[in-house]
Every structure is written in C-alpha cells, then in structure tokens.
Amino acid sequence: MKGICILGATGSIGVSTLDVVSRHPDKYEIIALTANTNVEVLYQQCLTYLPKFAVMVDEEKALFLEQKLADAKITHISVLSGMAALETVASLEEVDSVMAAIVGAAGLLPSLAAAKAGKTVLLANKEALVMSGDIFMQAITESGATLLPIDSEHNAIFQCMPANYKTGETAKQARRILLTASGGPFRETPLEQLVDVTPEQAIAHPKWNMGRKISVDSATMMNKGLELIEACLLFNMPSDAIQVVIHKQSIIHSMVDYVDGSVLAQMGNPDMRTPIAHAMAYPERFDSGVAPLDIFEVAQMDFEKPNLQRFPCLRLAQEAINTGGIMPTVLNAANEIAVEAFLNETVKFTDIAMIIEQTMAQFTANQANSLEIVLVTDTKARETAVKIINGLNH
C-alpha cells in the first residue's frame, strides 16, 4: 500500500482525491490530512479515513479538532497545527505520494518540502510552481522526486507526451502545446457589462466545480495565464510554443502538436477525478468513478482564440513569463490580493487586471534564484497591491 498525504483535504481537489482513494482501499493508506480552518469537514474525514496525522493551520481550530476526536474516543490521530506542520507531514518517511492541493501561495512551502523529500508530488497547486519556477523544478531533479500534474490541462498534456516522458524534459518531437480553456462564465458577456459583475456571477462556472478563488481566476482567465506559466516549466517549452484555445465544451482538456503533423488530444467528461486517478495510478490506470464520455451527446466541439481585450489577465501572464525573473511571483501575489478584494466586494471585477498591471509596473524583473527572494517579493507585491486598492477606495 502507498502512503498518501493530502494537503488541502477539505477543498474540492482533496475531496475528489478521497473519493478516488475510497474506490481503491487496498492500494492507499491515508497518512495525513490537512486543512486551513474547515474543522468540521476535516473531523468527518478523520472519522472516515483514520489518518495518522491531521493538521489544522489555525491553532485554535486544531485544539477544537483534538477535543472532538477525543470525545469520539479516537486517540491514535496526532493533531498538529501551524504552517510548519504542513511541511512536516509532507516529508514524513511513510508518505509516498503528496497531493498538493492547497490553493494559492500558502501551498508553496509544503509542496516544496515534498519535492525536496523525494516524494511523488501530485501537483494541483499551480501557484507554487508559478512563484518558485526553476527552484521547484531543481528540487524535483536533485531529490529524484516524481512530479505529476493534476490540473486537467497539464495532466492532459502529460498524457499526450511520448512514452516514458518525465516532467521538466523537452519532448523534442513536440512542437506546440494547445492549452484549452472553457472561457468561463463571461466568454460572451458584452464588455461594457463586465464592470457590474458580482462575485456570485463570477464563481458560477459553467463546466467545473471549483473553489471561489479559482472560479474567479477562471472568469478572468488568469487561471489560464497561471497554467501557461506552469506549462512552460512542466514541459520545458517557451511561451510562444503554447497556444491558448477556448473550447467551451471542456471535453478536450489539451492537445500536443507533433513535428509530423499529428495532434494528440486527451478527452473526457469535465471531472477532476480523471486526472487525479491518472496520477495516483501512474503508470497504470484504474477506475476513477467518472462516467464514460458519450461522444454522441457532445455532438459538436467549438474552438476560438481568446480575446485579450476581454481577458487582459491572460496578456499579463504572458508578459510575466516572457519577462521572467520575479515577475510571475509578482503577478500571482497581486492577483491573489485583487481577487480577495473582489470577493469581499471592495473592488470591481474589471479592477482585478488593472490592480495586477499597476503592481507589476512597480517591480523590476530581478532574478528569482533563491527562495528568500521569492518570499520577499511575494510580500512586497501584496503590500503594493493593497496600497493600489486603498487608493481606489479613497
């Protein structure tokens, strides 16, 4: 049996991972489950899966969880708290695979700890790679860790790569990646109406069930921008060899174009259990619980180029990866602050890209060759974005 640690167990990826695990109880042992503040869901998961460790980042919630487990006469689960505990459980000797599903910059350090510890890293946290880029990929190489992408698009690209392909390598016969995007809920909304978009409208994704932050990123297409940066790193290809394609049906999850004219596409119903199960079983395959694709029900598939006037966040992500250095870190930090402000209804939907662009304009593309530089940049970019937002509201 493989020991698995799920970072972000109460989020949509964590819940889907546990669903896949429950279908193969003979293959996996849950070593650790972690959450930020959602103590009720983590408590129920502890009752069901009986991990050896449970981590609540919030210290008070950890004490509450410990008491609830004691009341339920469950004493063998060690309850830990704090950010450092995430790194601890991701590096445990009995852990073989780490599902890195913490949203945002908070996932960087525990994901990096898993990479340095030589684990099989199932990477669902795109921000960790966007922020630390070469540092993360170097840690994978030096430790001998295996990096398997969980994002449906990157997992699709990985599946379309040549046999025995390893992330971080350049597939010499692959000349182009076609990175698909649904276009989100505002693909056809008149541009002048975007200024009045509400958080409720932005998180109502037409195809995927995701958390609030990621749903807003999908609506702005920053999600695709971050995925573009991630794809450059995962597959060692320049940004001009990656074409974003809007495909509203979300049936083709991405494609790889080869030098002989072949284009390989990975298809399936839009359900995250497919890429999760692929990575968990790799290099084998097993049942994910996802219904077979009915190609006759799909009947038609559409493709279009993204409009950068409608989706300026995609343009900003392209600029960040082309500029390089610390700029992807700045982009990600400013985006997290801007999206949080939008969800709190302190800025408008159309302000998100403007806040990011103004934040990026205040930074020079210095080298991002140490974790300290990355973390300091992340903090400064957040402070800059907050100042810009405060300026809008006065």
Which residues, other chains included, contact 330 with Cβ-Cβ below 8 Å and sequence gap of 6+? 320, 359, 360, 363, 377, 381
Q: Which tens digits make up the pLDDT trace of 294-312?
A: 999 999 999 999 999 999 9
CB 5 within 8 A of CB 97: yes
CA distance 281 to 159: 13
* pLDDT tens for each residue of 134-171: 999 999 999 999 999 999 999 999 999 999 999 999 99
d(CA 146, CA 124): 14
Give the pLDDT score at 164. Answer: 92
Q: What is the mean pLDDT of residues 333-355?
A: 97
Please answer whether residues 129 and 230 qualify as being in contact, where contact means their C-beta atoms are separated by less than 8 angstroms. yes
pLDDT tens per residue across span 89-114: 999 999 999 999 998 888 999 999 99
Q: How far is CA 193 from CA 197, 201, 312, in A?
A: 7, 12, 15
Q: What is the pLDDT of residue 330?
A: 97
Domains of the chain, first to last = 2-149 (3.40.50.720), 324-394 (1.10.1740.10)
Share of the chain above pLDDT 90, in %: 93
Q: What is the pLDDT of residue 127?
A: 84
Confidence class for position 209, pLDDT limits 50, 70, 90: low
Alpha-carbon span 124 to 110, nearest angstrom: 13
Q: Kindly indicate the confidence band of residue 206, based on its pLDDT and cuts at 50, 70 and 90.
A: low
Q: Is the pLDDT of residue 207 over 70?
A: no
Separation CA 279–CA 158 (nearest Å): 10
Residue 348: partners with Cβ closer than 8 Å, 6 or more residues away: 195, 196, 197, 342
User: Comparing 15-24, 74-83, 206-215, which segment has the lowest mean pLDDT?
Assistant: 206-215
**Summary mean pLDDT of the chain:** 95
